[in-house]
């Protein structure tokens, strides 16, 4: 057997290599890896660490490899056998090996003054920059879809709920705009993630820095980053920006799951508030009548996957001493899965929502047969001078009376109202109307038509 160079004399066991290889996962970082490598070798030449001629050859070779990968012609054998123990078990070594094959031994100059530890940390930060922005774009598309739907149904009043019990009338547009607000905070979280990720770890090397006169800040500028991760240990040993991105994905998915749950409920025969377009529903293999809201259900289900991604990486990181440990290789699958799932879920929700129609008549019917206006009774009595706590009790007794009699609040005669409080007058019935109820709201951000119209205008302007 040919003697291997370096510390080791035996090749890595093939099963150990297969078990430890991350190439199948991290190969999608090839663009970021090449972008970071070009910036790194350009800096090495600028600092006189490698020659300008060698740097040009390396940069040209890296660009050729990028085209080769994009065209599908790139293939690396991760064997662990032969003279090089550092086989292509990850995207970094795959590209470096291909570079050496392409331009010869000077391709080995690329790794001067860096380690795979700071290299992968940089790749991930560059990936986060584009991935988080992609999620932000999809969230914006869903916001637009919600605003368009709210505008189309801006005069429709629906039952508002707490505890999944009917509470007070609200405008349907107000309900939909609540999700627009949630998604805006999601977009802000991803923007914060991008800001914190925009620091270059390159130059930290394995953990202690490098004796070469590298220009860390210059590399950061070349890559469009805001600065460097100052502490070399911190630069290679933490994944908090990755965790933050997954956490933002998890919160976004939680919001999507709540919307999906409402679409599932509202689409049911029992509620029948909405109809989802056939192109986003499926049938049954045995029951011909079924039209199932599968896309909404899948969004709801995939939310658990993203939660799992977050818990997985938090668990990986919780007991790792400084600095780099191989455990950290396990950060990429959760990251990619969370970003891919959140991006796809936002996109499918926006497309599905565009096909949803709301049943105006059904909303009107449901508003007639419940005690949604009980709070209006209490507020009426307060305006007549009664303390709210007493008015609340009176309204509760009236609801009990109506429920026992099978009457709605507008159907109860005035004389029976006056048995509970002499403050009731004929003007009471003017307030027992859902549209009048929402119109009377005055507080900023309320469900009043005036406030909802202001919100619609604000969002239409912001999202245009």
> Which sequence positions are flagged as catalytic?
163, 284
What is the distance between the alpha carbons of residues 361 and 367, in angstroms, rounded to a whole number? 10
Report the 10 Å Cβ neighbour count for 391: 22
- Cβ-count burial of 414 within 10 angstroms (0-12 exposed, 13-18 middle, 19+ buried)? exposed
**Count of CA atoms in the C-beta half-sphere (13 A) of 308:** 9
User: What token pair was written down for 54?
Assistant: 């060698």
Q: How far is CA 361 from the centre of its chain?
A: 35
What is the distance between the alpha carbons of residues 416 and 257, in angstroms, rounded to a whole number? 45
- Cβ-count burial of 243 within 10 angstroms (0-12 exposed, 13-18 middle, 19+ buried)? buried
Q: Tell me how far CA of residue 39 lies from CA of 96, 203, 215, 334, 404, in angstroms.
A: 15, 12, 11, 27, 77
Question: Residue 185: helix, strand or coil by DSSP?
Answer: helix
What is the distance between the alpha carbons of residues 77 and 264, in angstroms, rounded to a whole number? 48
User: What token pair was written down for 384?
Assistant: 């007549």
Candidates 123, 124, 131, 90; CA nearest to 240 is 124
* Residue 163 dihedral angles phi and psi, to the nearest 5°: 55, 25
Structural contact between residues 11 and 82, judged by C-beta atoms closer than 8 angstroms: yes
Structural contact between residues 50 and 108, judged by C-beta atoms closer than 8 angstroms: no
Structural contact between residues 168 and 374, judged by C-beta atoms closer than 8 angstroms: no
Alpha helices by DSSP H, listed for 91-115, are 91-103
DSSP 18: H
Alpha helices by DSSP H, listed for 358-464, are 360-368, 374-383, 388-405, 414-418, 428-431, 434-439, 449-463
What is the distance between the alpha carbons of residues 202 and 33, in angstroms, rounded to a whole number? 12
Pairing verdict, β 157-162 and 199-200: unpaired
What is the distance between the alpha carbons of residues 331 and 310, in angstroms, rounded to a whole number? 10
What is the distance between the alpha carbons of residues 185 and 140, in angstroms, rounded to a whole number? 11
Strand partners, 166: 161
């Amino acid at each position: 057997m040919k003697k291997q160079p370096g510390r080791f004399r035996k090749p890595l066991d093939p099963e150990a290599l297969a078990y430890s290889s991350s190439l199948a996962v991290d190969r999608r970082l090839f663009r970021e890896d090449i972008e970071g490598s070009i910036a790194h070798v350009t800096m090495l030449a600028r600092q006189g660490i490698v020659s300008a001629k060698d740097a040009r050859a390396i940069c040209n070779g890296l660009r050729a490899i990028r085209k080769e990968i994009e065209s599908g012609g790139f293939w690396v054998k991760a064997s662990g056998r032969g003279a090089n123990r550092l086989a292509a078990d990850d995207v970094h070594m795959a590209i470096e090996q291909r570079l050496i094959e392409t331009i010869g031994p000077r391709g080995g100059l690329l790794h001067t003054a860096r380690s795979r530890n700071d290299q992968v940390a940089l790749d991930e930060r560059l990936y986060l920059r584009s991935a988080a922005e992609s999620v932000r774009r999809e969230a914006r598309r869903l916001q637009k879809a919600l605003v368009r739907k709210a505008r189309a149904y801006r005069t429709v009043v629906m039952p508002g709920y707490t505890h999944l019990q009917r509470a007070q009338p609200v405008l349907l547009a107000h309900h939909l705009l609540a999700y627009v607000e949630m998604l805006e905070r999601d977009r802000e979280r991803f923007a914060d993630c991008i800001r914190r990720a925009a620091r270059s770890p390159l130059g930290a090397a394995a953990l202690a820095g490098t004796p070469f006169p590298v220009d860390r800040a210059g590399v950061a500028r070349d890559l469009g980053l805001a600065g460097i991760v100052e502490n070399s240990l911190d630069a290679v040993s933490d994944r908090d920006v990755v965790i933050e991105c997954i956490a933002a994905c998890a919160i976004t998915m939680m919001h999507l799951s709540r919307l999906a749950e409402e679409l599932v409920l509202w689409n049911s025969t029992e509620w029948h508030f909405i109809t989802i377009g056939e192109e986003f529903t499926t049938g049954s293999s045995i029951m011909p009548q079924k039209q199932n809201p599968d896309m909404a259900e899948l969004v709801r289900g995939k939310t658990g996957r993203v939660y799992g991604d977050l818990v997985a990486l938090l668990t990986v990181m919780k007991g790792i001493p400084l600095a780099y440990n191989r455990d950290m290789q396990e950060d990429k699958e959760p990251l990619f899965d969370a970003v891919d799932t959140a991006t796809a879920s936002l996109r499918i929700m926006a497309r599905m929502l565009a096909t949803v129609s709301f049943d105006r008549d059904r909303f009107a019917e449901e508003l007639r047969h419940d005690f949604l206006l009980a709070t209006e009774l209490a507020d009426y009595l307060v305006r007549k001078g009664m303390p709210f706590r007493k008015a609340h009790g009176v309204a509760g007794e009236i609801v009990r009376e109506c429920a026992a009699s099978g009457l709605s609040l507008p159907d109860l005669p005035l004389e029976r109202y006056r048995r509970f409080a002499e403050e009731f007058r004929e003007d009471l019935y003017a307030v027992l109307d859902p549209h009048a109820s929402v119109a009377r709201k005055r507080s900023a951000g309320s469900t009043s038509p005036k406030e909802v119209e202001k919100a619609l205008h604000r969002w239409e302007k912001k999202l245009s």
